[in-house]
Amino acid sequence: MPDDANKPHKHTEHSASAYNRLRRLQEHSRANIPAVLAHRSTSTFTLHREPLPIEANDSVLVTIYPQDPFISEPEVRTMNAHDIAPGLINSRVRVQGRPSQLAVPDEDGNYMFWPGDPRFDQVNVFYFTTFTLRMYERYARRALPWAFPSPRLTVNPHAGRQANAFYSEQDRLLGFHAFEANGDRISTAHSADIIAHEAAHAVLDGLRDLYNESFGLGPSAYHESFADITSMLVALHDDSLVRRLLDWTDGDLRTNNFVTQVAEHLTQALLEADDLRLQAHNIYLRNAFNDFVLMPFDELEYDPVEPEFTLGRQPHNYSRLLTGLFYDIFSGIYEYQTQTCPPHIAIYRARDAAGAMLVFSIEIGAIGEFDYTDVGRCLLAADEILYNGRYYDVIARRLDERRIITADDCGAYIAQMRQMPAVSLPDTINSAMASALFLERDIIPALELDPDAEFVPMAAYRNANDYAFLTYFLTRRITLDGEQFRQFNDAKVDLFGGLTLSFDPNGRLRHACYRPIRDEDERQIKILLADLIAHDRITEAEMLNGDVVTGMRAAGFRLDASILNRPGAGQLIKYPVMHDQFSTDRTDIVTYLRQMGAQMRSSRD
Span 77-135, pLDDT tens digits:
999 999 999 999 999 999 998 888 999 999 999 999 999 999 999 999 999 999 999 99
Counting beta carbons within 10 angstroms of the beta carbon of residue 553, is it exposed (0 to 12), middle (13 to 18) or buried (19 or more)? middle
Chain centroid to Cα 308, Å, comes to 23
pLDDT, tens only, 582-592: 544 333 433 44
Give the CA diameter of the chain.
126
Could you give the CA distance from residue 456 to residue 475 in angstroms, rounded to a whole number? 9
pLDDT, tens only, 312-361: 999 989 999 999 999 999 999 999 999 999 999 999 999 999 999 999 99
Question: Residues 36, 67: one domain?
Answer: no
Helices (H), 407-466: 407-417, 432-438, 444-447
Question: Residues 24, 62: one domain?
Answer: no
Cα pseudo-dihedral 73, 77, 82, 84, rounded to 10: 10
| Cα–Cα separations (whole angstroms), residue 107 to 111, 268, 281, 383, 479 | 10, 35, 38, 48, 63
Question: Residues 178, 71: one domain?
Answer: yes
Residue 280 lies in a domain: no
Question: Residues 33, 107: one domain?
Answer: no
User: Which is more confidently placed, 97 or 474?
Assistant: 474
Q: CB–CB of 382/394 below 8 Å?
A: no
Reduce the DSSP state of residue 595 to 3 states and report it.
Answer: helix
Question: Residues 39, 63: one domain?
Answer: no
Confidence of residue 173 (pLDDT cuts 50, 70, 90): very high
Residue 32 lies in a domain: yes
What pLDDT, on a 0 to 100 scale, did the predictor assign at position 601?
A: 44
Q: CB–CB of 264/197 below 8 Å?
A: yes
Residue 19 lies in a domain: yes
Portion of the chain with pLDDT greater than 90, in percent? 64
Could you give the CA distance from residue 437 to residue 321 in angstroms, rounded to a whole number? 40
Could you give the CA distance from residue 301 to residue 295 in angstroms, rounded to a whole number? 11
pLDDT, tens only, 266-301: 444 344 433 333 333 333 345 788 899 999 999 999
Question: Residues 23, 83: one domain?
Answer: no
Residue 35 lies in a domain: yes
pLDDT, tens only, 177-191: 988 777 778 888 999
Q: What is the pTM of this model?
A: 0.85
Q: Dihedral of CA 305/311/317/318: which sign?
A: negative
Residue 82 lies in a domain: yes
Question: Residues 117, 39: one domain?
Answer: no
Q: Is the pLDDT of residue 408 over 70?
A: yes
Q: Is the pLDDT of residue 369 over 80?
A: yes
Counting beta carbons within 10 angstroms of the beta carbon of residue 441, is it exposed (0 to 12), middle (13 to 18) or buried (19 or more)? exposed
Q: Is the pLDDT of residue 545 over 70?
A: no
Which domain covers residue 30, as residue numbers? Answer: 8-44
Residue 245 lies in a domain: no
Confidence of residue 207 (pLDDT cuts 50, 70, 90): very high
Question: Residues 64, 116: one domain?
Answer: yes
Beta bridge partners of 168: 173, 577
Report how many domains make up the chain.
2
Give me the chain's average pLDDT, please.
84
User: Which is more confidently placed, 241 or 36?
Assistant: 241
Residue 175 lies in a domain: yes
Question: Residues 63, 31: one domain?
Answer: no
What is the enclosing helix (H) or strand (E) of 587? helix 586-604
Q: Is the pLDDT of residue 526 over 60?
A: yes
* Encoded amino acid at 136, one letter: Y
Question: Residues 19, 112: one domain?
Answer: no
Could you give the CA distance from residue 349 to residue 343 in angstroms, rounded to a whole number? 10
Question: Residues 35, 123: one domain?
Answer: no
Which pairing describes strands 281-282 and 184-187: parallel, antiparallel, or unpaired? unpaired
Average pLDDT, integer, range 496-515: 97
Question: Residues 13, 83: one domain?
Answer: no
Q: CB 490: neighbour CB atoms within 10 A?
A: 14
User: Which is more confidently placed, 20 or 487?
Assistant: 487
Smallest CA-to-CA distance from 508 within 443, 427, 424 is with: 424
| Cα–Cα separations (whole angstroms), residue 393 to 273, 332, 384, 396, 474 | 43, 9, 11, 5, 34
Average pLDDT, integer, range 499-524: 97
Q: CB 373: neighbour CB atoms within 10 A?
A: 15
Could you give the CA distance from residue 128 to residue 66 in angstroms, rounded to a whole number? 9
Which pairing describes strands 153-161 and 173-181: parallel, antiparallel, or unpaired? parallel
| Cα–Cα separations (whole angstroms), residue 228 to 223, 321, 485 | 9, 11, 32
Residue 231 lies in a domain: no
Confidence of residue 15 (pLDDT cuts 50, 70, 90): low
Phi, psi of 547 (to 5 degrees): -65, -45
Reduce the DSSP state of residue 69 to 3 states and report it.
Answer: coil
